């Protein structure tokens, strides 16, 4: 019977292997994608039919390319743009899409008439009728917890970490990334995170024409809606580059502008760039790219920035108004820095919450059948103790209750995460690569 036992064991082994391989290759559902642990598998290109057909049908501008127009065949977008075009403030575009303002600043008035954030971090518009940018959260000793530039293909380790602690955050998603990684974008909603827009192609917004700037916001909202079923009411300008013209256009699209007061500078450390920056870095044209890994910013600088923020809490800096710090879902370094600093942030601040939660915005999207908890509701389920629970427990499963968000329906085709996740069925492997949906090299 010896040979036969071996053979039985071997069969079991092979079928386990096959099961785990098949499971690891389910790239067709949010749950399947969320269950992948190997970043190389996570970051292998897959095709998601609703995105593939929308892209093939000409419903979006080329991925990662700056938007130049809102074409007539996009009847909804075109009508909306034409309806606001006449009232957009007469402020000229500034600099280049890559953020070179050297030809512009010498002629710009030092009174900062446009409330241009890039100039002197202005957040209170000069133009009447515009709301101030959100640069802090109203709740004292609270961190409005958020991350830019996602969804990143390799984010499962990071999202698993947050999920295991019942922690949600505000994710500022780039439209082009959402179409590249739709199941990852769906995971943000399923995990109870708040999703805000971070433009279509992540360029300097004040450089765009009115139509281009409108399109950068419009198509990022369309991408998020197509993939997740919700339409954000908040956005963050890449590099903080916003002025009253851009604020006006955003306001007309129902978007609140969210900025920050503290910067971890995590994005400057690692040479992992957004796809368009790889192109720009080759030409030396991108200031963001040229700062990465240079400018004296090291991992130690980023840690010092986190430490300073944490020190500011005990120094009483946030005793009346809470903080927002710029951090990124950009690459392994930025996400790992977030994980490494999470325990200290939770201990220092009274609360870490998504920005909408700190604002009591219980309906963060245009679609009203999706709600997030109020601040009071959120913190009742997220004491420091419960957030820290499991920090030393690497298994840390099943503690993700009170995930933050509720859908009264399953709009978007994204089901809300149950406290115990990973009930992933074994599905046939389905990996189709369409060059059409990728940015072209
Ligand atoms: C709309 O027009 C643009 C060019 O202006 C084209 O690239 C795109 O495919 C068209 N989309 C549809 C849905 O016809
Ligand atoms: C938008 O408004 C500007 C200024 O009023 C005008 O010059 C331009 O032609 C308008 N664009 C369109 C597409 O109507
Ligand atoms: C925060 O802490 C840093 C480092 O101690 C300090 O330089 C900075 O002035 C503090 N910021 C505020 C607003 O208190
Ligand atoms: C996502 O993260 C991975 C791992 O750090 C990195 O290689 C990749 O460049 C990132 N993707 C984007 C689009 O930033
Ligand atoms: C970063 O990479 C290391 C080494 O591959 C891995 O152990 C870790 O989980 C990654 N961190 C994140 C947040 O993805
Ligand atoms: C949020 O609601 C709580 C009451 O539940 C209130 O104390 C707090 O001031 C509200 N915050 C904002 C920003 O509205
Ligand atoms: C985790 O372990 C460290 C030391 O190993 C300890 O100081 C810390 O209090 C522990 N945290 C929790 C939440 O148990
Ligand atoms: C708080 O947790 C309880 C129990 O897990 C859950 O029923 C409730 O929906 C949660 N509330 C919020 C606002 O997350
Ligand atoms: C939620 O509302 C949106 C439109 O506002 C709709 O498309 C979606 O189907 C709704 N979801 C459910 C489950 O009712």
Instruction: List domains and CATH numbers for the chain.
Output: 2-437 (3.20.20.370)
pLDDT class of 411 with cuts at 50, 70, 90: very low
Question: Ligand 4 pocket, 331 CB below 6 A?
Answer: yes
Helix (H) or strand (E) holding 172: strand 170-173
Report the C-alpha gap between 239 and 217 in whole angstroms: 15
Distance 412 CA to ligand 4 centre (A): 26
Active site residue 193: no
Distance 262 CA to ligand 3 centre (A): 10
Distance 55 CA to ligand 2 centre (A): 28
pLDDT class of 441 with cuts at 50, 70, 90: very low
Strand partners, 365: 232
Distance 381 CA to ligand 6 centre (A): 16
User: Which amino acid residue places its CA nearest to atom 14 of ligand 7?
Assistant: 392
Active site residue 263: no
Question: Ligand 9 pocket, 411 CB below 6 A?
Answer: yes
CB 191 within 8 A of CB 168: yes
Place of tokens 């949010």: 30
pLDDT class of 405 with cuts at 50, 70, 90: low
What is the radius of gyration, based on Cα positions, of the chain? Answer: 22
| The one catalytic residue among 26, 74, 133, 148 | 148
> Region 116-136: what's the mean pLDDT?
98
Question: Ligand 7 pocket, 388 CB below 6 A?
Answer: yes
* pTM: predicted TM-score of the whole model, two decimal places: 0.85
Report the C-alpha gap between 34 and 184 in whole angstroms: 7
User: Which amino acid residue places its CA nearest to atom 3 of ligand 8?
Assistant: 402
Say which range, 124-138, 223-237, 259-273, 389-403, has the weakest mean pLDDT.
389-403
Q: Is the pLDDT of residue 320 over 80?
A: yes
User: Which amino acid residue places its CA nearest to atom 7 of ligand 8?
Assistant: 402
Residues with CB under 6 A from ligand 5: 154, 157-158, 332, 335-336, 339
> Region 265-276: what's the mean pLDDT?
73
């Amino acid at each position: 019977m010896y040979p036969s036992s071996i053979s039985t064991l071997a069969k079991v082994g092979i079928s386990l292997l096959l099961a785990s391989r098949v499971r690891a290759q389910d790239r067709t559902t949010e749950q399947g994608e969320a269950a992948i642990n190997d970043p190389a598998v996570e970051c292998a290109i897959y095709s998601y039919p609703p995105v593939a057909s929308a892209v093939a049908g000409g419903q979006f501008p080329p991925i990662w390319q700056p938007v130049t127009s809102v074409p007539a065949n996009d009847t909804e977008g075109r009508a909306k743009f034409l309806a606001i075009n006449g009232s957009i403030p007469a402020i000229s575009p500034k600099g280049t899409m890559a953020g070179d303002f050297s030809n512009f600043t010498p002629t710009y008035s030092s009174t900062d008439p446009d409330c241009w954030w890039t100039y002197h971090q202005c957040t209170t518009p000069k133009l009447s009728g515009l709301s101030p940018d959100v640069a802090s959260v109203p709740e004292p000793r609270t961190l409005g917890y958020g991350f830019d530039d996602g969804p990143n293909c390799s984010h499962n380790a990071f999202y698993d970490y947050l999920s295991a602690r019942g922690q949600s955050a505000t994710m500022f998603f780039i439209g082009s990334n959402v179409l590249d990684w739709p199941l990852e974008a769906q995971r943000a909603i399923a995990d109870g995170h708040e999703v805000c827009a971070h433009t279509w192609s992540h360029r300097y917004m004040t450089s765009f024409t009115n139509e281009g700037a409108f399109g950068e916001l419009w198509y990022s909202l369309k991408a998020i809606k197509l993939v997740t079923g919700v339409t954000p009411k908040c956005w963050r300008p890449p590099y903080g580059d916003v002025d009253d013209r851009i604020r006006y256009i955003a306001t007309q699209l129902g978007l609140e502008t969210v900025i920050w007061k503290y910067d971890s500078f995590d994005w400057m450390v690692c040479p992992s760039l957004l796809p368009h920056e790889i192109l720009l870095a080759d030409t030396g044209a991108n200031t963001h790219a040229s700062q990465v890994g240079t400018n004296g910013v090291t991992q130690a600088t980023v840690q010092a920035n986190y430490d300073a923020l944490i020190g500011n809490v005990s120094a009483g800096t946030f005793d009346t108004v809470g903080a927002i710090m710029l951090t990124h879902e950009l690459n392994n370094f930025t996400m790992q820095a977030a994980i490494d600093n999470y325990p200290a942030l939770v201990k220092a601040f009274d609360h870490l919450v998504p920005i909408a939660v700190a604002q009591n915005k219980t309906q963060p999207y245009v679609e009203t059948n999706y709600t997030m908890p109020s601040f009071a509701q959120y913190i009742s389920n997220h004491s420091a103790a419960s957030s820290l629970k499991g920090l030393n427990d690497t298994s840390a499963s099943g503690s993700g209750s009170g995930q933050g968000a509720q859908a009264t329906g399953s709009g978007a085709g994204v089901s809300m995460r149950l406290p115990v996740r990973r009930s992933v069925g074994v599905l046939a492997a389905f990996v189709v690569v369409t060059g059409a949906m990728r940015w072209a090299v």
